[in-house]
Amino acid sequence: MALTIATLAVAGLAAAAHAADPPQPTPSEPPFSYPGIPPYNGTGPTLLRFGCHQVVVDRIDPLVNPGSIPSPHQHQIVGGDAFNASMPVSDISDLSTCTTCSYSDDFSNYWTSNLYFRARNGSYKRVPQIPNRLFFDDEFTTRINGGMIAYYVSPGKGEVKAFEPGFRMFVGDAALRSEPQGRWNLSTQSCFRCYTGPNWEGDDYAPCQDANVDTQHLPNRPCHGIRTNVIFPTCWDGKNLDSPDHTAHVAYPVEGPHVFDGIGTAETCPDSHPVKIPQVMYEIVWDTSGFNDPNEWPEDGSQPFVLSTGDRTGYSQHADYVFGWKGDALQRAMDAGCIAANCPGIATQTVEKAAKCKVAEVVGENYDGWLDTLPGNPPQPSATTST
């Protein structure tokens, strides 16, 4: 299998396949070096890529709606079991007893909106999430229950400063329903990839970098699966662990939002945010193959999927992050020059142990059957997407 820089960027090429034709694991090779990029041998860049089971699906949001039960829309959450409706700035690694992630010292919480299918009769069904493909011999990631893949990138030893206890941030805009103007170039904050066939067909380039299959809006055509990627800023003001809008204390480089290419923190940070932090990206795969019956799609031919925010466009995709790595584990990983889910000296756990970590639902509403409304019944204003 030819290995390129683009392959590095999508180390976790996601699996999305027919329910009747499940993804077949692809034997991985030990890609310890790439053309033009220093080797992963303890001296070059670090690209952590690892899976996390869902810890809970619930309608709470301790960042945007702290203490509100329920919050306006539903999320799917992974990571440590300290997640709850209120999470004051603190070291959550001291509050957690377990994590759903393969790196057992990572008690962070990661969350995003869910995806629902809206049938022609107006009812809703949550779209199942599926594991990613086998890559870098990471079998954990191929066996996660729902959940997502987390990425952390450093261009080299001493190049980034790990987040501090209590740090959190947010990216995206849950209220957005139209294409952002002046900043979208398939490399900013989020995108959706439409798989063109079973077994990850069409998954050939870095996230948000293939105009043939990547869009900022939800795809307007049937897909064999939809993958979403959300990319966080890589510069910090060096002082504030949070900000009122959860975004002002972080920023993108002066060159603009960077492509996720495996060395994405190498740019220049603005004077207002001089500290380079790891590049964080989330990756989620939805199995939409069971919802491709044209007789169930809207009569006007428009796409039938809607985010749990009530957004039929996809522009509202967003992500929340609360840092929770134990001690200096993340800094050691960022300086180690390692790759994927096997970083020497960074503790891991079995997929079975991680799956036992759970958080009890707080709202306790039905979300997996056929529903008359989305959880919380968020408004769904009409909007037009690009083709």
6 assigned to some structural domain: no
pLDDT band at 358 (very low <50, low <70, confident <90, very high): very high
| 26 is a domain residue | no
Is the per-residue pLDDT at 240 higher than 80? yes
pLDDT in tens, 57-110: 999 999 999 999 999 999 999 999 999 999 989 999 999 999 999 999 999 999
Q: First-to-last CA distance in the chain?
A: 33
Residue with tokens 């749990």, as numbered in its chain:
308
User: Residue 183 — pLDDT band, cuts 50, 70, 90?
Assistant: low
pLDDT band at 176 (very low <50, low <70, confident <90, very high): confident
Positive/negative CA dihedral, 46, 52, 55, 58: positive
pLDDT digits (tens, 9 = 90+) for 112-151: 999 999 999 999 999 999 988 788 889 999 999 889 999 9
Domain assignment present for 42: no
Element (H, E) at 352: helix 351-355
Mean pLDDT of 20-41: 38
Handedness of CA 65, 70, 71, 74 (dihedral sign): positive
Assess contact for 9 and 216: CB atoms under 8 A: no
The CA-atom distances, in angstroms, between 308 and each of 116, 314, 318, 371 are 7, 10, 11, 12
The answer to whether residue 385 scores a pLDDT higher than 90 is: no
In a domain, 3, yes or no: no
Residue 9 has pLDDT above 80, yes or no: no
Question: What's the mean pLDDT in 7-28?
Answer: 34
Give the H/E segment covering residue 212: none
Mean of pLDDT values over 280-288: 95
Tell me the percentage of the chain whose pLDDT exceeds 70.
82
Instruction: Among 24-33, 174-183, 361-370, name the one with the lowest average pLDDT.
Output: 24-33
Structural domain including 107 reads 49-369
Mean pLDDT of 188-217: 88
Average pLDDT, the chain: 85
Number of DSSP helices (H) and strands (E) in the chain, helices first: 3, 17
Those residues with Cβ within 8 angstroms of residue 352's Cβ, 6 or more apart along the chain or in another chain:
none
Identify the band that residue 261 occupies on the pLDDT scale cut at 50, 70 and 90.
Answer: low
Residue of 208 and 218 predicted with greater confidence: 218
Spatial strand order of the sheet with 115-118 comes to 124-126, 115-118, 305-307
Residue 343 lies in a domain: yes
For residue 349, is it within any domain? yes
Number of domains in the chain: 1
- For the stretch 42-65, pLDDT in tens is 667 899 999 999 999 999 999 999
Q: What is the pLDDT of residues 303-313, one digit of tens each?
A: 999 999 999 99
